[in-house]
Structure 1
Amino acid sequence: MLINAGNLKTLAIAFKAAFQGGLGQAASQYQVIATTVPSTTGSEEYGWLGSFPNMREWIGDRVINGAKSYGYTIKNKPFELTVAVPRTAIEDDQYGVYTPMMTEMGRAAAANPDQLAFNLLKAGNATACYDGQYFFDTDHPVIGADGAVASQANYDDNSGSGTTWYLLDNSRALKPIIFQNRKAPNFVSKTAETDDNVFERNEYVYGVDSRCNVGYGFWQLAYASRKTLDEAGLTAAYTAMCERKGDGGRPLGIKPTHLVVPPSLEIAALKLVNATTLANGADNVLKGLVQVISVPWLA
């Protein structure tokens, strides 16, 4: 290819098209467990977390529910992926070899929210949420009907043994994970003769950048367990979530919708909630209870 501004622009357009094609190749899973929140600043404050809204009979004046100030903030982070193409490859018409790389760049950019969201879920037993406790913990403070503070658990570590699996209620407006999006993936190129990469290293540079981050929503909508994933384990976790109460002893009406597992537990999970009958011929009462999501980022 003759190196000139017109041809380089055409090549950049072709590479960007390949990048855009890659954006649609990644099978997105994060949207199942995460609520996407648009962001317009460097960080967003979620001080209202912890206040489950509830209707009451209107007697007398309205009761204004103020948002509890927990000071939970999600700060946006920058992300990038950059690749270089030798100028000689362009001159020798070998640029087609690099087109799959641009497609893969798009796929990686699209997969970044999944990686962030599920890595955060995986780190829930050692990362704090809005109430200062770990997201998956045994002593979340909740005010009981008698006004006293009691502890609630959404984590069964089984003495630290076993592979972790997760039960989530993803039916609410705010899901267990928050994906905060400040800037969508943007494809850029540096191909001017005066760019340092061209002048000094004789290569053209193409890259993508974005700004986003993830954080925790309501811990009440999630449960993590290291117990054996069987009928007893799933039933215990499911019941604990359905019986969950908020401040004042008010039932929260939680109903788990998804069983999230690493690939090593996928078959066991599918058998548990998809099989019509058990090995002994009895009906499987857990059939259709929840949907199974197998996530490679949890491996």
Structure 2
Amino acid sequence: MLITTATLNALRKGFKAHFQGGVGQEKTLYQRIATTVLSTAGEETYGWLGEMPEVREWIGDRHVHGLKEHDYAIKNKDFELTIGVQRNKIKDDTIGVYKPVFEGFGRKVAAHPDKLVFGLLKDGANQKCYDGQSFFDTDHPVLDAEGNTYTVSNDGGGAGTPWYLLCTSEVIKPIIYQEREAFDFVALDNPTDANVFKNKEFLYGTDGRCNVGFGFWQTAFVSRQPLTAANYEAARVAVQSMKADYGEPLNLSPDVLMVPPALEGAANRLMKNDQIDGSDNEWKGTAEVLMVSRLA
């Protein structure tokens, strides 16, 4: 194949089409448990996560709530993926073999939010959230009706395979996926480019800016206890009993039971069977089973 501007333009369009095709093929799950926030700066501060005021009866002057300023920010990170195509491959007209490569390229990009979101949740016992505690912890500080501090747990303990009970119906889901710049397909394929001149290689890549962080810890519960009806009930009670500062119930309703592959069977039996061990299963259909391979 003769390398000309027209040829390279056609190749670029073809490679980009394969890339976009791969993006469309990937089935992602992060949207189920993460709220996407569009970022406009290098980092975004979420100090307001500490307090969401309640509606009150209007007696006398308005009561102006000053939102708590927790020092919690999500700093955007740069990510990239680049591949090279040898000039001789184009000259020898063997570029057809690159179709699956660029499709896979696109799928990797589409899956990147899943990688970030589920990776963060999986490490939630070691990563801090807005209150300065680990996201999954046994002693999150909360104020009671009199303004005294007490502690609340969203960690069921145990030493087995972790499973998660999440409330995803709130405005802010358990995880925040922060996007600054969406991934875009770019090319460095001018015959006079240094990479072509020095290495006989055309470069095609994508890059973007994003990151992830935690939303409200109250909307997520982790347990390493066996996934039984009794332990599931305890997790539901814990989430449903969560209160805001000063004793206001949060009225959370957990709706996703998220598990790794090893617990998919146990989760399906608990959520889909009419009976468990010969007794009526009162927990059937109370949550959606979300199996996430990245939690393995």
Correspondent of 2:250 among 249, 252, 261 = 252
Aligned to 1:124: 124
Aligned to 1:265: 263
Aligned to 1:203: 201
**Deviation by residue 1:141-197 (Cα, 9 ceiling, x = unmatched):** 000112210000001222xx1001111000011111000000111101111122121
Q: CA deviation at 1:198?
A: 0.6
Amino-acid identity (%) = 51
Long gaps (5+) in structure 1? none
Query: CA contact under 8 A between 2:50 and 2:69: conserved in structure 1?
Result: no
Aligned to 1:284: 281
Aligned to 2:93: 93
SS of match in other structure, 1:151: strand
- The code of the aligned residue for 1:198 comes to V
Aligned to 2:7: 7
Q: CA deviation at 1:60?
A: 1.3
Alignment of 1:1-299 (within 5 A): 1-158=1-158, 161-280=159-278, 282-299=279-296
- The code of the aligned residue for 2:128 comes to A
Aligned length: 296
Work out the CA distance in 2 between the residues paired with 1:54 and 1:210.
38
TM-score norm. by structure 2 comes to: 0.98
Q: CA deviation at 1:284?
A: 1.0
Work out the CA distance in 2 between the residues paired with 1:28 and 1:154.
26
- Structure 1 runs of 4+ aligned residues shifted over 4 Å read none
Q: CA deviation at 1:80?
A: 0.6
Work out the CA distance in 2 between the residues paired with 1:259 and 1:50.
25
**Deviation by residue 1:226-277 (Cα, 9 ceiling, x = unmatched):** 0001101100000111011111111110110101111111111011111122
Work out the CA distance in 2 between the residues paired with 1:175 and 1:220.
10
Q: CA deviation at 1:53?
A: 3.2
**Deviation by residue 1:53-90 (Cα, 9 ceiling, x = unmatched):** 32111111111111101011100001111111111111
Work out the CA distance in 2 between the residues paired with 1:240 and 1:157.
13
- The code of the aligned residue for 1:138 comes to T
Work out the CA distance in 1 between the residues paired with 2:267 and 2:252.
21
TM-score norm. by structure 1 comes to: 0.97
- The code of the aligned residue for 1:285 comes to E
Work out the CA distance in 2 between the residues paired with 1:219 and 1:5.
54
Work out the CA distance in 2 between the residues paired with 1:207 and 1:129.
33
Work out the CA distance in 1 between the residues paired with 2:63 and 2:293.
46
Aligned-residue Cα RMSD (Å) equals 0.9
Work out the CA distance in 2 between the residues paired with 1:279 and 1:232.
13
Work out the CA distance in 2 between the residues paired with 1:67 and 1:147.
16
SS of match in other structure, 2:177: strand
Work out the CA distance in 1 between the residues paired with 2:66 and 2:111.
37
Query: CA contact under 8 A between 2:52 and 2:67: conserved in structure 1?
Result: no
